[in-house]
A and B are shown apart, each in its own frame.
Chain A
Amino acid sequence: MTGAVPRVGVVTFPGSLDDGDALRAIEQMGGHAVSLWHGERDLRAVDAVILPGGFSYGDYLRCGAIARFAPVMEPVMAFAERGGPVLGICNGFQVLCEAGLLPGAMIRNRSLRFVCRDVWLRVETAQSCITDGLTPGETIEIPIKHGEGQWIATPEQLADVERDMLVVFRYASRTGIVDEAQNPNGAVNNVAGIRNAAGNVVGLMPHPEHAVDPDVGPTGGQPLFASLLHMAMAGVIG
């Protein structure tokens, strides 16, 4: 299958904002970007799905609460259950939590303020669709921009998440130190991203799609997209 290019779909919900950026990042990293519409139950034969950032339905009730009921979410959930790679970025992460595909929930940042800045993330596991080929302990730089990014969970849930090593990224210093000073939103245990048990579903608050082009930001998103495209390729080949 040389020359095959994986198709990666990006869902546009009403109020999605970073869908265009995700589409561009996929193309830039060598994938074939496919735009998906919230109102359609058709995944257009994609090999991976991204739920992008933004404020779906204004995020007025709870972030992601309304989007999870969009018609497109039916095939997305089925795709996830079949093991297809699904990445939720920021609002997309919130949608995945609301839909029960990932544990925990997001509440407002500890500061109650929206925060947009470049942060460092420590990779916690290579067992996920966006960290395949990365080394646990290494750090990458990616921007965050959210008002409700404080990931929380009940103590039991948290214990399970840590035991099963579901944390994919933690907010850290450039050298990989994880502490409160590096926590931009108050997330429990500095959690910035998590996966499901199989690793095919991942959600993260930071925005890798804004970290692939050195002219406009850091480049920590490149290896994550490379990993996603690689995992999607498995779908193309297998």
Chain B
Amino acid sequence: MSSEQDPLHRQLGLTDDELAQIEATLGREPNRTELAMYSVMWSEHCSYKSSKIHLRTLPTEGPSVLVGPGQDAGAVDVGDGIAVVFKIESHSHPSAIEPYQGAATGVGGIVRDIVSMGARPVALLDPLLFGPLTEERNRWLFAGVIAGIGGYGNCIGVPTVGGEIRFADAHTADPTVDVMCVGVARVAELVTTQSRTAQAGSLMVLYGASTGRDGIGGVSVLASATLDDGAEGSRPSVQIGDPFAEKLLIEASLELIAAGSLEGLQDLGGAGITCAVSESAARAGMGASLDLDAVPLREPGLVPFEILTSESQERMLAIVHPSKIDDVRAICDRWGLTTAVIGGLTPGGTLTVRSGGAVVAEVPASSLAEDGPVYERPVAPPARTMGNGEDPTFVPFEKDLTEAVFTVLTAPNVASKRWAFEQYDRVVQGNTVAGPDSDAAVVRVTGTLKGLALSTDSKSRFGRLDPFLGAAHAVAESARNVAVTGAIPMAITNCLNFGNPERPEVMWELTESIRGIREACLALDTPVTGGNVSLYNESGDSAIWPTPVIGMLGLLEDYRLRIPSSFPRPGLAIYLMGETFAELGGSEFAEAVLGVVAGKPPALDLTRERALHRLLVAAARGAVVASAHDCGDGGVAIALLESAIGGGHGFAVALAGDLPSHVALFSESASRAVLSVDPADEEALVRLAAEHGVPVARLGETGGPRALIEGLVDVPVDELRDAWEGAIPRLLGET
């Protein structure tokens, strides 16, 4: 940690080597303002210095990928001239101290990334991890984050259609708050580095909110040199979201793009104006001149470094040909947004910043945006053995199975998240075919029959035991979640949430996870189109579990053929696709019932996984199945119960085989799904399964008011529903 005696660059988080690199670039010592700019741009958050070399190993190409990593968000071609733009980002650190605003501004940030690609945001998903709700602070964080996501998303008119919520001790001090946004654009209108050619002389127009002293973060140590103590307290690192301003920003931006008024568009996020201006210039292969006096300020007296690094929300930067500036002003005026020409692109590569007529910084734009340091940090597996502890798969279980069923069904990871997702507007825009209570959300694309199937998944409990497997499982599960709706898995975005990368053990978790994503994405043919990395999620020396969150995009050619996830009526045959092995390592049963997170996570055979997806897609196309639900946490038992609760229809099944009862019920073997099928279609399903090489077993039928698993469980569905839906409210003390 830095101390007062440290030289300024260290207080700003720059190492001695990094300072030397800056001096070599400039051929002189940087001044304070320049140092502030390098400090924010070369931060872990903006430069990806610890993760960059590893991210490069991810598969990023495929016939449908229009834009891969490297721009504000990735884009995939879904046919008929339509592009789907999507990305995930984390806002965990601010959410840990001000959950409502932290989560709200997280939503705002990722939405602007999508808009800056020229896409209309059509869906949000929020994967979240918290510490247990038995602790008051975790309840406060949980309630605040959910309210903040709703408060912002609901107010900008983008439906929140999915996500996930999980709980683990390791997230008590450091909740993980990730947000994924999905947008739709005409391929021809995408705003990409390739599609727009900015030229020297083009104007840089800042529009939206004014700039204040918020979110200046680490560089605020500069303040001691420039401001008295009183002003120091007025520089909060958390920002207040203004979703109303964001809504206007979305509409104005999309109108500007449609009108053909822009040569480039960039959101303002981390590192504020410094980042937006240097990236815009560097991408265009140019320099820029920037006049800080032209930046509209929310309060008087901001000094250059504050204006340059402020992360005030709800701002965008447009690159505009001088002939179009009046059009831009007219459109922004109509939406009540302030515009300011803050500079222009210049030939050569120098970014020159002026304030009060004087030059306050002069650096190569690309040195900020592209030439940041890259580290190959030491990697070492932890001392503790992986798959530690006795594997719960082989611990005999003699207790009551019905009680175990209720324990798993009401475990916070499994229990209904209705309390949370009812706070999200999931219907606005009128395209939500399936919302948060489905394995994957399905959002139709206006004017077409296409349906986007969307899912976010993390398997950090598996990751804790084996980060490679955990990450691969997360990819597989997210793909399975879209496949059970009948959609073809197309591409992913990801958010890598980890601890301190300066610890070799954390770097090992990170690299293993990236390897897992790589393997799974290659096998499932789902390239990585982008993502985000959130490091330093730890307090003391206890880091969060390795938590790569996968955001999957799947495509349904005809959303009307979507397969629902619960039993739609009585009289259907129930099938289990895939095979169940003795695999309770890292399972929900082990954690909720036995109280251990131990063992070896289930094996993952990606060839089998892919076969299952293809079978499901074929079954949907042929309208062969009535429902499909993936087997995840809690195994086949929970998949059956959730299918029954969701549809309000009971079932009677028998689990064949010679696994011990509790293993048969709760094993979390991968590549499985529970289907219901009209008797008339059974033959077709069995034939399809044989063609795809997917093992099938007929378990029984739907119908009646009870959930009956022969010889093991026999409970009324209503009772199950009450338990499942009541679990989270009970933990929050509301019932």
The answer to whether B427 and A55 touch across the interface, beta carbons within 8 angstroms, is no
Which A residues are CB-close (under 8 A) to B444? Answer: 215-216
Assess whether A143 is in contact with B427, with CB atoms less than 8 Å apart.
yes
CB distance from A75 to the nearest CB of B (A): 20
CB neighbours (8 Å) of A234 from chain B are none
Determine which of A114, A115, A145 lies in contact with B428 in the assembled complex, contact meaning CB atoms within 8 Å.
A145
Give 16 new A-B contacts, CB below 8 A, not counting A54-B157, A114-B150, A216-B433.
Answer: A15-B247, A17-B155, A17-B156, A17-B157, A57-B244, A58-B155, A113-B422, A114-B147, A114-B424, A116-B154, A143-B427, A145-B427, A207-B427, A209-B430, A215-B433, A215-B444
How far is the CB of A118 from the nearest CB of chain B, in Å? 9
Q: Which of A18-26, A95-103, A132-140 contacts B (4 or more CB under 8 A)?
A: A18-26
Asked if A176 is an interface residue, CB under 8 A from chain B, the answer is no
CB-CB under 8 A for A58 and B242, given A113-B147, A116-B422, A145-B425: yes
**In the assembled complex, which residues on chain B have CB atoms less than 8 Å from the CB atom of A210?**
427-428, 430
Docked pose: A215 CA to B444 CA in angstroms: 10
Find the A residue at minimum CB distance from B242: A58
What CA separation (Å) do A18 and B427 show in the bound complex?
Answer: 10
- Check if A42 is an interface residue, CB within 8 A of chain B: no
Chain A window 13-36, contacts with chain B (Cβ cutoff 8 Å), 1 for yes, 0 for no: 011011011001000000000000
In the complex, how many angstroms separate the beta carbon of B430 from the nearest chain A beta carbon?
5
User: In whole angstroms, what is the CA distance A17 to B250 when docked?
Assistant: 12
Contacts of A83 in B (CB 8 A): none
231-276 of chain B: CB within 8 A of chain A: 242-245, 247-248
Closest 8 CB pairs of A and B: A58-B244, A17-B157, A55-B155, A21-B430, A145-B425, A114-B423, A210-B427, A114-B150
Q: Which of A104-130 contact B (CB under 8 A)?
A: 113-117
How many residues belonging to A are interface residues under a CB distance threshold of 8 Å? 28
Bitwise interface map of B from 406 to 422 toward A, beta carbon under 8 Å scored 1, else 0: 00000000000000001
Chain A residues within CB distance 8 Å of chain B: 14-15, 17-18, 20-21, 24, 54-55, 57-60, 113-117, 143, 145, 147, 207, 209-210, 213, 215-217
Across the two chains, which residue of chain A brings its CB closest to B143? A113
- Does B560 sit at the interface, judged by CB under 8 A? yes
Contact A215 B560 (CB under 8 A): yes
Q: Does B336 contact A (CB under 8 A)?
A: yes
A215 touches B427 (CB 8 A): no
Q: Which residues of B contact A20 (CB under 8 A)?
A: 429-430
Contact: B429 with A60, CB < 8 Å?
no
Nearest Cβ on chain B to A183's Cβ, whole angstroms: 15
Give chain A residues whose Cβ lies under 8 Å from the Cβ of B283.
none
Task: Known A58-B155, A145-B425, A213-B430; judge A14-B243 contact (CB<8 A).
Answer: no
- Neighbour of A115 across the interface among B151, B423, B431, CB < 8 A: B423
Most B C-beta atoms less than 10 A away, residue of A14, A143, A209? A14
Is A116 within 8 A of B336, CB to CB?
no
Interface set of B (CB-CB < 8 Å, partner A): 147, 150-151, 154-157, 242-245, 247-248, 335-336, 422-433, 444, 559-560
A190 to chain B, nearest CB (A): 19
Q: What separation, in Å, do the CA atoms of A143 and B154 have in the docked complex?
A: 14
The residues of A that contact B155 with a CB separation of less than 8 Å are 15, 17, 55, 58-59
Contacts of A216 in B (CB 8 A): 427, 430-433, 444
- Contact partners of A58 in chain B: CB under 8 A: 155, 242-245
Give A51 Cβ to nearest chain B Cβ, in Å: 16
**A21 and B428 contacting across the interface, CB-CB below 8 Å:** yes
Whether B426 and A116, one on each chain, are in contact in the complex, defined by CB atoms closer than 8 angstroms, is yes
Report which of B154, B335, B429, B560 forms a contact with A145, defined as CB distance below 8 A.
B154
CA distance A218 to B667 in the complex (A): 37
B429 touches A116 (CB 8 A): no
User: Pick the contact of B151 from A114, A117, A143, A213 — CB < 8 Å?
Assistant: A114
CA distance A116 to B436 in the complex (A): 12
What residues of A have a CB within 8 angstroms of the CB of B560 in the complex? 215
Q: CB-CB < 8 A to B244: which residues of A?
A: 14-15, 55, 57-60
State the CA gap A54–B250 with chains docked (Å). 15
Does A116 lie within 8 Å of B247, measured CB to CB?
no
Residues on A with C-beta less than 8 A from B433 are 215-216
How far apart sit A55 and B248, CA to CA, in the bound complex (Å)? 11
Can you identify 18 A-B contacts, CB atoms within 8 angstroms? A14-B247, A14-B336, A15-B244, A17-B155, A17-B247, A55-B244, A113-B147, A114-B147, A114-B425, A116-B154, A116-B425, A116-B427, A143-B427, A145-B427, A147-B151, A215-B433, A216-B427, A216-B432
What is the bound-complex CA distance between A20 and B455, given in angstroms? Answer: 26
Closest to A24 in B: B430
Closest to A53 in B: B428
Enumerate chain A residues within 8 angstroms of B147, measured Cβ to Cβ.
113-114
Complex interface: chain A residues within 8 A of B424 (CB): 114, 116
Least Cβ distance of B147 to chain A in Å?
Answer: 7
Distance in Å: Cβ of A13 to nearest Cβ of chain B: 11
Query: Shortest beta-carbon distance, B728 to chain A, in Å?
Result: 13
Find out whether the CB atom of B428 lies under 8 angstroms from the CB atom of A14: no
Whole-angstrom distance between the alpha carbons of A217 and B243 in the complex?
26
Chain B residues near A24 (CB-CB < 8 A)? 430
Q: Which A residues are CB-close (under 8 A) to B429?
A: 20-21
Q: Within the assembled complex, what's the spacing in Å between the Cα atoms of A148 and B550?
A: 34
Chain A residue contacts of B427, Cβ below 8 A: 116, 143, 145, 207, 210, 216-217
B430 touches A14 (CB 8 A): no
Measured CB to CB, the closest approach of chain B to A113, in angstroms, equals 5
- Expressed in whole angstroms, the minimum distance between the Cβ of B195 and any Cβ of chain A is 26
Per the bound structure, the CA–CA distance linking A41 and B228 in Å amounts to 51
Residue of A nearest to B244 (CB): A58
Min Cβ gap A137→B in Å is 25
Chain A residue contacts of B425, Cβ below 8 A: 114, 116, 145
The answer to whether residues A55 and B243 also contact, given A17-B428, A216-B432 and a CB cut-off of 8 A, is yes
Complex CA distance for A113 and B147, rounded to whole angstroms: 7
B residues in contact with A55, CB < 8 Å: 154-155, 243-244, 247
With a cutoff of 8 Å between Cβ atoms, the chain B residues found around residue A143 in the complex are 427
Q: Which residue of B lies closest to A210 (CB)?
A: B427
- For B155, B157, B245, B427, the residue with the greatest tally of chain A CB atoms inside 10 Å of its CB is B427
Q: How far is the CA of A213 from the CA of B422 in the complex (A)?
A: 21
